[in-house]
Structure 1
Amino acid sequence: MNCCGPTRRTLLAAMGFAALLPALDVGRAAAQPNPLLTTDLEVVTITDTSVVLTWTTLTPDAAGNPVPALADTEVLLADGRVFTQAHYDATPTPYHFVEVNGLEPGRTYRFEARSRGIRATPALNLITGAPGTPESCGEFTTLTPPPGRLLHTIALANDVHFGEEVSGVIINGLPPGFRQDMPPYPQAMLSALLSDLPTRGVEKLLLAGDLTAEAAPDQVRGVRAALDGWGHEYLVTRGNHDRPHVGEDYRGCPSIDDHHDCWGESFLPRQQLTENRLGELRIIGLDTSELDGSGGSIDRPQLAHLSELLRADPDRPTLVFGHHPVTTESGLTNTGGPAFVLNGPDGAALQAMYTSAPGVFLQHSGHTHRNRRTRPDAACAVEFLEVAAVKEYPGGYSLLRLYEGGYMVNFYKMSAEQARRWSATTRGEYLGLYPEYTLGTCADRNHTVERDLSGLA
């Protein structure tokens, strides 16, 4: 299974596939009246006891363009030769989401996802359609959980962009973006996230930045009200979109030089870390935002504060979260390049601290809108995990389940109907190439790490 991001060659191949897709849809439309295309199959989540599959059903309109089509939802599973029905729902929908529970850890299952009896297939994207993926093989293997008891469940999320109105635009209206055809999509996706989490036993939600589109006063107030009204524990850190801004719209907020910090007024002062506890687990939030621009940095006082905390208790199990990814690999593989992540000197300083603090085991980042694990540059046993955005495809969050003998990471899409519809719409961002970059490999999304976390018990 491919563990790396899309190369230039795979991107070019995917562009070719994307260009062929309309022609393939038209050809199928001509072959039979009102045919059903069951596509975009994704094996999103694989835990030790469950699997989540999603797909979309389409049919050609009068012009031959594929449009959403209502259909039933069925999944068959086999751990031997014979398939049995594991799920069936006659409720018609174009946006199919199935979670099958009660599976056995470490076991391989064959599967078929169907609508109207037609087997779902992956889209013409390499991330799901390449040989060796669960979608192309028609089989998956459940994870084996770490040893010991389950101790805590934490949700990792980021990039809500509350107040945004167009998704998928980079600059000057290009590439063509997607406007909401629903209640404002950042609000709808955040609502879907907050509705999902209590059903999964989440004790605390960590939001690693970009809570707002541009930190305008109404955006900050809106996202704060939504989070406070949720009624469960959450922690936040600032992203580049949440940075202090200039302009008349911001003048009522506290000033920093010629900028005004509306986000800081409602949440946290700029470049200030936070330290919290969940039982014996230490959770440190870093503000990696700069006063201007999209890149990341950590001011000297914040670095010194972090160093002091880690030196005082280096072996305590510690989870760090901040908006900007840290590693050289992340800088070289994201679409914005090295300047888009935490700057090199600060990233090196951070990782050097981790080499002397063996209790740090994972750093959660957002910003790139993708699911990705990258290698550290220093000799530190820390997982550097990027989690895809809440606000657009694939539209979800990761669960971090902590056991006495390690942890399990699983990415979930939100299950609400509006979230499924918007995720299916925005998977077409960047001329249909967005899944290649953002979904991540099955192993990026779902994995187990054995590590001594018995100190949390």
Structure 2
Amino acid sequence: MSCCGPSRRTFLGAIASAAFLSIGGLASSRARAQPLSVLATDLEVVTVTDRSVVLTWTTVAPDESGRLTPVPSDAEVRLGPADSPRAPVPVFADPDRTPFHYAEIGGLEPGRRYRFEAWSQGVRATPALSVTTLSPGTPEATGEFTTMVPPPGRLLRTIALANDVHYGETVSGLVVGAFPPGFRQPAGLPPYPEVMLSALLDDLRARSVNHLVVAGDLTSEATQEEARAVRARLDSWGMLGSDYLVSRGNHDRPHVDYESCTHFGEHRDCWGDNFLARQELAEHEVGGLRLLGVDTSDLNGAGGRIERSQFDRLAEALRADPDRPTLVFGHHPVTVESGLTNTAGPSFVLDGADSIQLQRLYERAPGVFLHHSGHTHRNRRTRPDTNISVEFLEVAAVKEYPGGYSLLHVYEGGYMVNFYKTRTEDARRWSSTTRGEYFGLLPDYTLGTFADRNHVVARDFSGLS
């Protein structure tokens, strides 16, 4: 696991530097681009499973003013075993021309190293100028990847982990006020939270997912209209409490001055009227696997907290069956490492005292194996602060780049995690657009390392059905 990331001051400084560098960088890229008809860029090896790989890239070309703009192009992937003397051979060709390329290749062998190339109009795709994909040893830098070896035993079930839909939001990428510049959906296109949620649900149908877990920020402002609309979209996929499970995020907290909905003093809880009451522990069981949804939202802020009544119920549930395999999900990340490495600082994650108390509960409940959270809009695993064997996993947002979800494949002998981008044309367009958030620095913060996105953990789940 990686340990460190930018502090808030460093990040904001980098934004300022990027704003300056982007002027010269764009000018030089325009100059270089002039002789070329197409540039294939932003290459990412997003997902590697035991038998498949997903690559994405974008094709751009200079317009009459020299500005690089997306242009439709063909797409081809060449692939072959890395230990073969033969060059990679074509294994994928997209008949539909698009600027936003998504190539998924199956039929691979577990635990084998492959060499790959992605091409559009005779131009080989290259990574963006991003530390995440240009660092030594990354698949994008080496042109090679190794398929994963799944845990032993039968595949028992597949659970999608998602968060940060922000249904109702109209501007993406704002941090403070109107800074940095945000991104809006062009006129005539559906609102981007609707596009991205629909793309997520389409993907889950195609991938035969058993359950969907949404860890908070389903809405933008928790209005009655937003809560009802996102509930209706999710209900079109399955049933709340069995097919899909939710927890509340800070955007879903009760708001002041709404005219209807359940009262909390001056606050009104429209989200709770459509989903779950405030600070209520959600308990679910599927085939012997326990899923616990924790409401970590504070009534008046972006940071997280767990109130005493919910802590007591959580402690009671874990104490009653401490060895049962358990997945916990809640909106706010938990660990000190997460607090130090997210751009908003320690106050943005779960309250420090609550974090330690929660991890102490996990010490006495060895069945807890994974804690899924959102809020930071990034893919990242962080270290626990106590001596526990729990993975703390943050999953990138549904609503913006990289725009996706993680699949948790549970086997008898452990689990495999893989992050996927959503893949409808409108979703790929919006994800490509929002790469530009934070003056183009968003990929380095949110995509995560290859190991954050794709990894295998050994556990004994032989008692599950």
- Would you call these one fold, judging by a TM-score over 0.5? yes
Counterpart CA distance in 2 for 1:241 and 1:231 is 23
Return closer, same or farther for 1:408/1:298 CA change in 2, 3 Å cut-off: same
Deviation string, structure 1 residues 80-126 (Cα, Å, up to 9, x no partner): 23211110113210000000001011111010000012100000011
TM-aligned CA deviation for residue 353 of structure 1: 0.5
User: Which structure 2 residue ranges, 5 or more long, are not aligned?
Assistant: none
Alpha carbons 1:73, 1:114 under 8 Å: kept: yes
Q: Secondary structure of the residue that 2:251 maps to in structure 1?
A: helix
Identity between Structure 1 and Structure 2 (%):
62
SS for the counterpart of 2:159 is strand
The aligned runs of 1:28-427 (5 Å cut-off) are 28-32=32-36, 35-79=37-81, 80-82=84-86, 83-181=88-186, 182-231=189-238, 233-247=243-257, 250-427=258-435
Q: Following TM superposition, by how much is the alpha carbon of 1:4 offset from its aligned partner in structure 2, in angstroms?
A: 4.2
Aligned-residue offset at 1:251: 1.7
CA distance in 2: counterparts of 1:282 and 1:303, whole angstroms: 17
Contact 2:153/2:412 (<8 A) preserved: yes
Q: Distance in 1 between matches of 2:361 and 2:202?
A: 37
Amino acid at match of 1:372: R
Residue 22 of structure 1 aligns with an amino acid whose one-letter code is: L
Instruction: Measure, in 2, the Cα distance between the counterparts of 1:337 and 1:9.
Output: 11
What whole-Å deviation, never above 9, does each CA across 1:383-430 have from its counterpart, x for those lacking one? 000000000000000000000110000000001110000000001000
Over residues 260-303 of structure 1, what are the superposed CA-to-partner deviations in whole Å (9 max), with x where a residue is unaligned?
Answer: 00000110000001110111100000000010110000000100
Give 3-state SS (helix, strand or coil) of 2:57's partner: strand
**Counterpart secondary structure, 1:379:** coil
Question: Which amino acid in the other structure matches residue 235 of structure 1?
Answer: L
* SS at 2:41 equivalent: strand
Q: CA deviation at 1:24?
A: 3.4
8 Å contact from structure 1 (residues 21, 124) kept in 2 = no
Distance 1:57 1:243 in 2: 41
Distance 2:306 2:128 in 1: 40
Structure 1 residues without counterparts, runs of 5 or longer: none
Corresponding residue pairs, total? 453
Residues in 2 aligned to 1:90 and 1:59: alpha-carbon distance in whole angstroms: 20
| Counterpart residue type for residue 404 of structure 1 | E
With the length of structure 1 as denominator, give the TM-score of the two structures.
0.96
- Look up the equivalent residue of 2:292 and give its one-letter code: I
Paired with 2:194 and 2:5, the residues of 1 have a C-alpha distance of 30
Distance (whole Å) between structure 1 residues aligned to residue 422 and residue 181 of structure 2: 25
CA shift in 2, pair 1:64/1:50, >3 Å: same
Distance of 1:374 and 1:2 partners within structure 2: 7
List per-residue Cα deviations over 1:119-157 (Å, max 9, x = no partner). Answer: 000000111112211101101111110111110100000
User: In the TM superposition, what whole-angstrom CA distance separates every residue of 1:288-323 from its partner, at most 9, and x where no partner exists?
Assistant: 001011000000010010000001000000000000
316 and 25 in structure 1: CA distance in 2 versus 1, 3 angstrom threshold: same
In 1, distance between residues paired with 2:310 and 2:98?
A: 49
CA deviation vs aligned residue, 1:53-89 (integer Å, no higher than 9, x gap): 0000000111111111110010000102321111011
State the AA in 2 paired with 1:23: A
Q: Deviations over 1:359-399 (max 9, x none)?
A: 00000000000000000001110000000000000000000
Asked whether 1:22 is paired with 2:26, we answer yes
Aligned-pair Cα RMSD in Å: 1.7
Question: 2:442 matched to which residue of 1?
Answer: 434
**What is the alpha-carbon distance in structure 2 between the residues aligned to residue 11 and residue 199 of structure 1?**
42
Alignment deviations for residues 177-233 of structure 1 (CA, whole Å, 9 cap, x no partner):
000122100001000000000211210000000000010111111101111122361
Q: Which amino acid aligns with 1:28?
A: R
The answer as to whether partners of 1:316 and 1:455 remain within 8 angstroms in 2 is no
- Structure 1's 122 and 19: CA in aligned 2 closer, same or farther, altered over 3 A? farther
- When residues 436 and 17 of structure 1 are mapped into structure 2, their CA distance, relative to the original with a 3 A threshold, is farther
> In 1, Cα distance between the equivalents of 2:158 and 2:190?
30
Measure the CA separation in 1 of the matches of 2:125 and 2:2: 22
Q: Is the 8 A contact 1:289 1:297 kept in 2?
A: yes
SS in 2 for 1:23: helix
Q: Contact 1:39 / 1:56 at 8 angstroms: preserved in 2? A: yes
Residues 19 and 126 of structure 1: CA distance in aligned 2, closer, same or farther (over 3 Å) = farther
1:31: how far off?
Answer: 2.8
Whether the 8 Å CA contact 2:6–2:342 is kept in 1: the answer is no
